[in-house]
Amino acid sequence: MKKIVKEWSTMIELNNREAVEICKLGLGSRCCAFLVSEEGKFKCWKRNYPHNIAIIKGMENKTIKTKGEGEWKGCPWDERNT
């Protein structure tokens, strides 16, 4: 897991194992909505403004399949991991 901090956003790069174990990749609607694949890498966009806003709106409008909001055990945004 690698944290990429920018002026207005923070993104997490994950390897394949982390995407499956932490973000529930492959579990359909239970997968974290903030997990994206970009440039051949898995990334968490939960704190990646403004991209995260589109995901949040998609969840509110029920226009995206995934419904997970993350912060499960092992998630970099889980307070138990800080």
Q: What tens digit of pLDDT does each residue of 43-71 get?
A: 999 999 999 999 999 999 999 988 888 88
Rounded to whole angstroms, the Cα distance separating 61 from 73 reads 27
Does position 81 have pLDDT exceeding 60, yes or no? no
Tracing tokens 């991209």 back to the chain, one arrives at 51
Strand-pair category, 41-44 with 35-38:
antiparallel
Mean pLDDT of the 24-32 span: 94
The whole-number pLDDT of residue 80 equals 65
